[in-house]
Amino acid sequence: MNAKEIWHGLSDGHWLSAMLTPANRNRLMKLALAIADQVAFSGSNFVFSVLLGRWMLYETYGAFTYAYSILILLATFHNALLLEPFTVFGSSQYRFTLKTYTDRMARLQWYWGVVISGISLPFGLVLWAAGNRGLGEAMVGMAIAQGAILYFWYVRRKWYVLQHIERAVIGTTLYAVIQIVGAALLHHLGALTPLSAFATIGAAGLIAGLVGQSTRTDEDEAPQSLPLPPLVREHWQYGKWLMIAGIFAWLTGYSYNVLTGSILSLADTGGLKALQNLINPVTQLLTAFNLVFIPWIARRHAERGSQGMNRDLALYAVFSTGCAALYWVALSLFREPIFSLLYGGRYTEYSDLLPALALIPLVSAFTTSWTIGMRVLRQTQLLFWVDSIGAAFTITVGVLLVVQFGLSGAVAGSVISTVIRIPVLIVLWRRATRASISEQEPSTS
C-alpha cells in the first residue's frame, strides 16, 4: 500500500469506525470511568494530606504519617488475602456466581475489620498511656478507622470486578466530599488532630461503603453454594505469597516513613510525606489503569489462554511508562512553584529531593505489566523473590543510609530499593511464561 492509499484510508474515516466498535467503545468508557474514579479517590486523598501538611505542625503531621504507614502495612495483608484473590477469581472462575461470591466477601470484610482493630488498638493505647500522646493518638485513630477504610476499598473493588465502574465513581465522590469537608470543618473548629483526621477518613469510608454496598447486584448466572471455609483456603493459597511479597514491598517503600520517625524525628517523617504527596497522583492514576486492566486480562486469559498476553502486557507497559515519564518531567521542572502553591512556603527545604523520589512511580510503571502477568498466571510465589530484594536492601543498606545521610538517605534508599528489583523481575517473568507454555502444551505420551 502506497502513501496515497494510506492517506485515503485515513481521510475517509473508515479507520475511525473500525476502531470505535461497540466492544472498543465500551472498553474506552470503562477506562474513562476508572480514571474519573481514581482521580476522585486519589485527588481527595491528595488534597486531604496536603491540607494536613499545611495546617498541622511538622511533628503532628509526622505522627499521622507514621500511623498511616502502619495502616498501609495492614492493608498489605488485606490486599493479598482478600482484594487480589477477589479481583482474579471474581473475573474468572466465579464470574457466573458473582452475587454469592461478593456476599461472602462482604462477610469476610466485616470479620477482618473487627479482628484487626482488636489487635492493633492496644498498641496505640499503650503509647498514649506511656506519654507519647501524639503518636499514641494517631495509632488509636488508625486502629479504630482501619476497618471502615478497608471496607470502602473492598466496595470499590467489587464494582470493578462486576464491571459497574460507574457505581464505584458515585461512592468515591461521596467519600471525597465527606473527607475534605470534614477536614476543613475540623480545622475551622481548631480540632484537627491525628485522631480526628483518622476519624474523618473512617467516617467517609464507612458512609461511602454502606451506600455502595446497598446497590443491588445482578443475580448469579449459574447459582451455587460457596461455603466460607473453602473460599478462605483458596484465598490463602493464592494470597500467601502475595502477602509476604507485600510486606517486602512495604519495606521497600512505606517503611522509610517509620524509619525516619524512629531514627530521625517525626518532623522528618512529615517532610518525607510532603514529598510523597506529590508523587501519589501518578501512582494512583497507574492504579486506576491496573484496576481496569487486571480484570480484563484475567478474563482474556481465562477465555483464550496465554496467546497474545505478552503483546497486551508490552503495550500496557509502554502506555503506563509514558504517562509516568511525563509526570516526572513536570515535577522536576516545576517543583518549586508546586511547593509554594500547595504548602504555602512550607517544606521547601525538601524540594530538591523530589526529582529523585519521583523516579519510583516511573520504575513501577515500567515493571507493573510483568507483576500483573504473574498474578494472572497465578505465579504469585515469584513475587516473593522480586520484592525480597528491595526489602533486604532496606533493612541493611537502607537503614545505614538513613542514619548516615538523614532524609536524603531515606529518599536514596527508597529509589534504589525499587530499581534493584528490575533484573530479578525480568528473569522470573521469563520463568513464569515458560512454565505457562509448558502447561498448555499437549502431552506427547
Per-residue pLDDT tens for 223-269? 677 788 888 888 888 888 888 878 888 888 888 999 998 899 888 99
Domain-embedded: residue 15: no
| pLDDT class of 21 with cuts at 50, 70, 90 | low
Q: Answer yes or no: is 427 within a domain.
A: yes
Q: What percent of the chain has pLDDT over 70?
A: 87
Is 19 inside any structural domain? no
Q: What is the value of pTM for the model shown?
A: 0.76
pLDDT of residue 305: 65
Evaluate whether residue 14 is within a structural domain.
Answer: no
Per the domain annotation, does 131 fall within a domain? yes
- The model's pLDDT over 146-181, given as tens digits with 9 standing for 90+, comes to 999 999 999 888 888 877 888 888 899 999 999 999
Lowest-confidence region among 195-209, 306-320, 325-339: 306-320
Handedness of CA 210, 101, 290, 28 (dihedral sign): negative
Helix (H) or strand (E) holding 143: helix 133-161
Secondary element (H or E) of residue 232: helix 228-252
Q: Which of 6-10, 205-209, 344-348, 428-432 has the highest mean pLDDT?
A: 205-209
Pick from 29, 83, 45, 84: nearest CA to 383? 84
More reliable by pLDDT, 27 or 206: 206
Range of the domain at 267: 24-437
The pLDDT mean for the chain works out to 82
Q: How confident is the model at residue 218 (pLDDT cuts 50, 70, 90)?
A: low
Is residue 68 scored above 90 in pLDDT? yes
Q: Residue 268 half-sphere exposure, CB side, CA atoms within 13 Å?
A: 19
7 in a structural domain = no
196 in a structural domain: yes
Instruction: Assess whether pLDDT exceeds 70 at residue 99.
Output: yes
Q: How many domains does the chain have?
A: 1
Euclidean distance between CA atoms 17 and 158, whole angstroms = 33
- Is 12 contained in some domain? no
Share of the chain above pLDDT 90, in %: 26
Question: Which residue shows C-alpha cell 469510608?
Answer: 205
